[in-house]
């Protein structure tokens, strides 16, 4: 039972990087970015192919982040320079990334069994069991990511990025190039998503070209659940809520599976859960009006 609890929380921490990426685009920039469905397996694929060729696991994660940044920059360029709506720009990049990921990986699936990963290296270094090593890495990465983002969004550039999502006309009047801010936000967002893909691939032991299907819904579920349960009274609280929401989502998934829900219904359950969470403010307002 302990292994199930620790494993569920650990997966929530690793997936929280995806949720953070979705939060940056969905809440900060006010953009629904579907690039993540291609960036997630891209990060996993880059990390996996480098690992199988003997590259250091930490370097493979860094390479995955760079790949995610490039994918986000492409979406931003399509949206800002070609004036294609952000949703369509994300869809175009997502579709293109499927072929790109196949070229990167060379095949649809790469096994990481008997290959050194971030977790095996740290586990051997500190002589800790794999379960606890993954948990410690997940916790450390989530905390470090949150602190870095809190620092960044407190800077002048970070404040301009947040203002771009809230009131682009106002921030343009202050001399800020909103197109640059949008590209920067998409770049940072997809870097987090790719790192999440790389770390999760290393934890589950394989990378698959189709593992990104439904990741946007998972990210939205984590963000919405976190906001509903823990509130959004400040930016710091919002960041914490995203991480806790990711853990809560994984706990809910583990619980419904434990209660006997068929795994094939998980995507449907997640979609319904997100729809209910998104409609809660409207339902609450109607209830109060009555």
User: Mean pLDDT, to the nearest integer, of 252-276?
Assistant: 85
The pTM of this model reads 0.93
Cα first-last separation, the chain: 45
| Residue whose pair of structure tokens reads 């947040």 in the numeric block | 162
DSSP 24: I
| pLDDT for residue 130 is more than 90 | no
DSSP 208: E
Euclidean distance between CA atoms 142 and 8, whole angstroms: 15
Phi-psi region at 246: left, alpha or beta (left = phi > 0; alpha = psi -120 to 50): alpha
Contacts of 2 (CB under 8 A, 6+ apart): none
Q: How confident is residue 47, by pLDDT bands cut at 50, 70 and 90? A: very high
pLDDT tens track for 173-217: 888 899 999 999 999 999 999 999 999 999 999 999 999 988 998
Question: What is the pLDDT at residue 283?
Answer: 79
Q: How confident is residue 75, by pLDDT bands cut at 50, 70 and 90? A: very high
Contacts of 205 (CB under 8 A, 6+ apart): 111, 112, 113
Euclidean distance between CA atoms 247 and 241, whole angstroms: 10
User: Mean pLDDT, to the nearest integer, of 262-268?
Assistant: 85
Nearest Cα residue to 65 out of 190, 153, 218, 181: 190
Give me the chain's average pLDDT, please: 91
The structural domains of the chain, with segments of one domain joined by +, span 2-289
Q: How confident is residue 235, by pLDDT bands cut at 50, 70 and 90? A: confident
Candidates 1.10.10, 1.10.3470, 3.20.20, 1.10.20; correct CATH number of 2-289?
1.10.3470
Ranking 77-91, 193-207, 234-248 by mean pLDDT, the lowest is 234-248
Q: How confident is residue 68, by pLDDT bands cut at 50, 70 and 90? A: very high
């Amino acid at each position: 039972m302990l292994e199930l609890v620790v494993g569920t929380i650990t997966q929530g921490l690793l997936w929280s990087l995806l949720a953070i990426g979705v939060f940056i685009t969905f809440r900060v920039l006010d953009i629904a970015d579907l690039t993540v469905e291609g960036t997630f397996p891209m990060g996993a694929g880059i990390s996996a192919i480098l690992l199988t060729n003997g590259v250091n696991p930490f370097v493979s994660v860094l390479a995955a982040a760079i790949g995610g940044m490039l994918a986000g920059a492409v979406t931003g360029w399509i949206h800002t320079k070609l004036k294609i709506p952000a949703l369509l720009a994300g869809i175009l990049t997502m579709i293109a990334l499927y072929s790109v990921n196949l070229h990167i990986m060379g095949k649809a699936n790469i096994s990481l069994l008997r290959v050194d990963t971030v977790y095996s290296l740290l586990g051997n270094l500190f002589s800790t069991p794999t379960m606890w090593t993954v948990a410690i890495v997940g916790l450390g990465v989530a905390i470090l990511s949150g602190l870095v983002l809190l620092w960044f969004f407190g800077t002048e550039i970070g404040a301009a990025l947040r203002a771009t999502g809230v009131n682009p006309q106002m921030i343009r009047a202050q001399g800020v190039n909103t197109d640059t801010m949008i590209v920067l936000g998409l770049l940072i967002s997809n870097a987090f998503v790719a790192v999440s893909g790389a770390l999760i691939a290393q934890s589950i032991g394989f990378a698959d070209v189709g593992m990104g299907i439904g990741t946007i819904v998972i990210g939205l579920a984590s963000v919405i659940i976190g906001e509903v349960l823990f509130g959004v009274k400040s930016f710091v609280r919002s960041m914490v809520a995203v991480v806790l929401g990711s853990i809560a989502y994984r706990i809910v998934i583990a619980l419904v599976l434990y209660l006997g829900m068929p795994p094939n219904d998980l995507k449907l359950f997640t979609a319904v859960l997100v729809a209910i969470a998104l409609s809660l403010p409207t339902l609450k307002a109607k209830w109060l009006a009555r």
